[in-house]
């Protein structure tokens, strides 16, 4: 459905059928709830009944940005849990203390792409294998009824058990140990108190820092059976998965970094999906993010070509609707501008003498994996009751 006009909001007065105006209950606003009334009069008339709703709010949970024009139905559910800690015995990256990645900034503007030696490659193999294990642990607990904050706790503990620092924690002040991106969230979703619903799709983006190297991967998972029965959800998740697979097929020495976007966008378009342009794949090694920049859209102007010993990610973000993104006032959560669903997959890759090694490859028992597309019901709309 095209167009940006939000559906008309109804007045919260229990005896009122009018559309709501801009007038909001100030008590609800403080509680992070949205209740709009058609008029001051109606608000007053319904006050005795309406104020009961304030007392029902005993969970202490709230939407921190109640006046923000959200693009879809997802809302942040605060308070965030306390910041998790990492024992001093685990090696911390330079940004862990104050949030500034000093060593990355030294390299900003440099196009020189690191070529790793044999020992460094071993370090990358190790951390990427551990990162895969942690993603799989997280995916196994991602079910309806579980909060994304619980997934963060599971990821955090799984990192510590592997003598690893969860790279997102305090990177440019990101508050949590993993990114959890639900439905219309493109990337960088902050784990919070929202409970996963049957029918959600969830991207879990895990990065570990171990032995002086970062390993980065993500996958999108179907939450419950309803998402697996929704043709559009299956189309977006499977298309994103295939886009990454097709891009990896052309990784070898000599492939230009600008080529991947052509392969990805061609496939996305063939499935009537679009490619997010704002976020790119990246070099990764002793630094979390460095050269090269790897855009996922066609006709980009990325510099450089793959050479043996280089390590970088490809992580296409694909949307059912627009390619345009917006960022929530938390300064992290990126959502589609039209609120349509989006999916992403990511691997950390090593360029070899004759091709590529997928350092974060799935294990035989990894949860998730491809599913067959479902045909949308053609012709008439099917009415669903309940
Ligand atoms: Zn990632
Ligand atoms: Zn990444």
CATH number reported for the structural domain that contains residue 316 in this entry? 3.90.230.10
**Pairing state of beta strands 201-210 and 179-182?**
antiparallel
pLDDT of residue 31: 72
Closest ligand to C-alpha of residue 284 is 2
Q: Is 115 exposed, middle or buried (0-12, 13-18, 19+ CB in 10 A)?
A: middle
Are 291 and 113 spatial neighbours (Cβ–Cβ below 8 Å)? Answer: yes
Which token pair is 106?
A: 């030294």
Closest ligand to C-alpha of residue 312 is 2
Distance in Å, CA 172 to ligand 1 centroid: 15
H helix runs in 231-357, sequence order:
231-249, 259-270
- CB hemisphere CA count around 178 (13 angstroms): 31
- Asked whether residue 107 falls in the same domain as residue 9, the answer is no
Distance in Å, CA 49 to ligand 2 centroid: 50
pLDDT of residue 247: 98
pLDDT of residue 382: 47
Distance in Å, CA 221 to ligand 1 centroid: 15
Instruction: Tell me the C-alpha distance between 171 and 167, whole Å.
Output: 7
9 within domain boundaries: yes
Which pLDDT tens digit goes with each residue over 48-63? 888 888 876 567 899 9
Are 212 and 288 spatial neighbours (Cβ–Cβ below 8 Å)? Answer: no
pLDDT of residue 54: 80
270 within domain boundaries: yes
Range of the domain at 212: 102-384
Q: Which residues surround ligand 2, an ion (CB under 5 A)?
A: 216, 313
Q: What's the mean pLDDT when you consider all of the chain?
A: 93
85 within domain boundaries: no
Distance in Å, CA 86 to ligand 2 centroid: 22
Binding-site residues for Zn(2+), please?
205, 216, 282, 315, 346
How many structural domains are present in the chain?
2
Which pLDDT tens digit goes with each residue over 109-141? 567 899 999 999 999 999 999 999 999 999 999
**Pairing state of beta strands 185-187 and 334-336?**
antiparallel
Binding-site residues, please?
188, 205, 216, 282, 289, 315, 346
- Asked whether residue 51 falls in the same domain as residue 115, the answer is no
Strand partners, 319: 274, 342
Binding-site residues for a protein, please?
188, 289
What residues of the chain score a pLDDT lower than 50?
1-5, 379-386
- Asked whether residue 40 falls in the same domain as residue 110, the answer is no
68 within domain boundaries: no
60 within domain boundaries: no
63 within domain boundaries: no
- Asked whether residue 339 falls in the same domain as residue 214, the answer is yes
Distance in Å, CA 171 to ligand 1 centroid: 12
Distance in Å, CA 147 to ligand 1 centroid: 20
């Amino acid at each position: 459905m095209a167009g940006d006009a939000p559906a008309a909001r109804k007045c919260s007065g229990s005896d009122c059928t009018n559309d709501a105006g801009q007038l909001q209950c100030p008590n609800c606003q403080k509680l992070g709830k949205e209740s709009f009334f058609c008029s001051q009069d109606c608000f007053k008339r319904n006050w005795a009944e309406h104020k009961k709703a304030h007392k029902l709010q005993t969970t202490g949970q709230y939407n921190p940005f109640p006046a923000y024009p959200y693009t879809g139905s997802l809302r942040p559910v605060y308070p965030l849990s306390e910041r998790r800690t990492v024992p001093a015995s685990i090696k911390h990256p330079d940004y862990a203390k104050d949030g500034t990645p000093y060593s990355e900034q030294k390299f900003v503007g440099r196009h020189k792409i690191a070529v790793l030696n044999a020992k460094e490659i071993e370090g990358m193999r190790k951390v990427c294998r551990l990162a895969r294990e942690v993603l799989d642990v997280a995916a196994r607990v991602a079910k309806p009824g579980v909060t994304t904050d619980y997934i963060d706790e599971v990821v955090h503990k799984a990192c510590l058990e592997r003598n690893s620092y969860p790279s997102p924690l305090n990177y440019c002040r990101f508050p949590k140990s993993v990114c959890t991106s639900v439905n219309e969230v493109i990337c960088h979703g902050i784990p919070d108190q929202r409970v996963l619903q049957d029918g959600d799709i969830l991207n879990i983006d895990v990065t570990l820092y171990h032995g002086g190297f970062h390993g980065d991967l993500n996958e999108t998972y179907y939450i419950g059976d309803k998402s697996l029965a929704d043709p559009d959800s299956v189309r977006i998740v499977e298309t994103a998965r295939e886009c990454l697979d097709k891009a990896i097929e052309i990784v070898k020495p000599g492939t230009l970094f600008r080529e991947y976007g052509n392969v990805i966008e061609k496939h996305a378009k063939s499935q009537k999906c679009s490619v997010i342009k704002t976020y790119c794949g990246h070099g990764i090694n002793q630094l979390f993010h460095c050269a090269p920049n790897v855009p996922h859209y066609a006709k980009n102007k990325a510099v450089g070509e793959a050479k043996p010993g280089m390590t970088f990610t490809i992580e296409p973000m694909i949307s059912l609707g627009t390619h345009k993104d917006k960022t929530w006032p938390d300064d992290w959560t990126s959502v589609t501008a039209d609120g349509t669903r989006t999916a992403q997959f990511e691997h950390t890759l090593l360029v070899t003498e004759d091709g590529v090694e997928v350092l974060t490859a799935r294990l035989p028992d990894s949860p998730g994996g491809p599913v067959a597309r479902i045909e949308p019901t053609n012709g008439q709309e099917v009415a669903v009751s309940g």
